[in-house]
Amino acid sequence: MPLGLRLTFVFLFLCGISNIDLASTASRKCEDSLATPLPYSSFTGSSVYATGYGAGYAKLNRRGGSGGWSPVDADRYQWLQVDLGSRKKVTAVATQGRYSSSDWTSRYRLLYSDTGENWRPFLQDGNIWTFEGNADSEGVTRHQLQRAVVARYVRFVPLQWSQEGRMALRVEVYGCAYWSDVVSFDGQGVISYRLSSKTKKIKFLTDAISLKFRTSAGHGVLLHGEGQQGDYISLELQRARLVLSINLGSNQYGSIQGHTAVTSGSLLDDDHWHSVLIQRYRRNVNLTLDHHTQAFRTNGEFDHLDLDYEISFGGVPASNKPSSGGRDNFVGCMEGIVYNGDNITSLIRRKKVDTSSFELRLRAGTRAVQAKSGPSDPSDVRAQQSCPEGGGGSVALRQPAQP
């Protein structure tokens, strides 16, 4: 089969698959009870007041043990932790006091984490949020989260508690399974997404690109595309800030300069997930980082992004390197990469994206998939330990130093 024909076929086939994926995830409610089905050992606490007050008894409406969790001390350093077993989408929480007692928690904060070590407070309206808890032992107070979070671990941190009794909790966490293909980048691999055959250039009047990333490295290219006329789009981390560079065209005399760069965020190398959305219509661009949107217009007079036949994620492809000047590849994890309607991460799992000249590894739940055409080498094992899903374990994003 001629090369061009094969590429066209693959491209059309993939669009169909990604549409099905998006439709199936959008249509279901996300309100399952996540904590109740868990075993005793999935609950841990900062301390335990006495036998029968263990964290595993902290299930909503249960009366096991002494009817709930209570710590030894009464200060703001106590916490009750639920390990959901794998990353879940969390949409609501509920609390209750210890069964038939004068022990409860009246105000608390919520922390969440992928690793159980690196915690992030739940925010509402941009502030670390304090939730109203209980005023007796049996009433249930439920809070819908203003914005769902994705996490494996959830911690309840009591701030105020019963005046007459002790600090105590029974809890529920509501949400649903979170399916995501997480791509691990070791600084070598680059995903190259072929937009068309080599002979046909692409003109884009609009763009919609979204992805999530997590890294402990302050520098690295998240995505890059460029065209022979000098157009480009490039998203990268520089000094732990996000920089979007875009050029819809300059003229050859230099009187029209299209280069435009916008910076957003800070401390993005904090090993937490961050979401990015780029929306463009002609010269109008919205750059959204973690739900904060910056609107700007590109410089110059041109409306189309003229790209060559591919766009890459995690670095600049080797073929483009000379013009793009030795920028660092991304080291870390990405998920939910959607490029103009195509779910790239899903396509990678199905091995439909060209990765022929690069190494690439990803994990999808417990289904580890290796999409790599070259011979394997010993570094594979190490790299596959990055970006764990489901079973978890510690996260090593950087390559360990060579002995």
- Using CB under 5 A, list all residues that contact Ca ion: 231, 248-249, 302, 304, 306
Q: How far is the CB of 305 from Ca ion (least distance, A)?
A: 6
Nearer to Ca ion, 249 or 332 (CB): 249
DSSP summary character for residue 380: H
Nearer to Ca ion, 249 or 314 (CB): 249
DSSP readout, 68-134?
SB--SS-STT--EEEEEEEEEEEEEEEEE--TTSS--EEEEEEEEESSSSS-EE-EETTEE-EEE--
Q: How far is the CB of 250 from Ca ion (least distance, A)?
A: 9
Q: How far is the CB of 304 from Ca ion (least distance, A)?
A: 4
Nearer to Ca ion, 116 or 230 (CB): 230
Strands 105-113 and 141-161: antiparallel
Gap between the Cα atoms of 57 and 38, Å rounded? 11
User: Tokens for 192?
Assistant: 């190259």
Gap between the Cα atoms of 378 and 336, Å rounded? 28
Cα dist. 153→87, 224, 305 in Å? 8, 34, 42
Nearer to Ca ion, 226 or 306 (CB): 306
Q: Count CB neighbours of 339 within 10 A.
A: 21
Give the H/E segment covering residue 11: helix 3-26
Q: How far is the CB of 340 from Ca ion (least distance, A)?
A: 16
Q: How far is the CB of 306 from Ca ion (least distance, A)?
A: 4
Nearer to Ca ion, 224 or 363 (CB): 224
Nearer to Ca ion, 230 or 390 (CB): 230
Q: How far is the CB of 248 from Ca ion (least distance, A)?
A: 5
Query: 343 by DSSP, 3-state: which?
Result: strand
Tell me the residue nearest to Ca ion as measured from the CB.
249
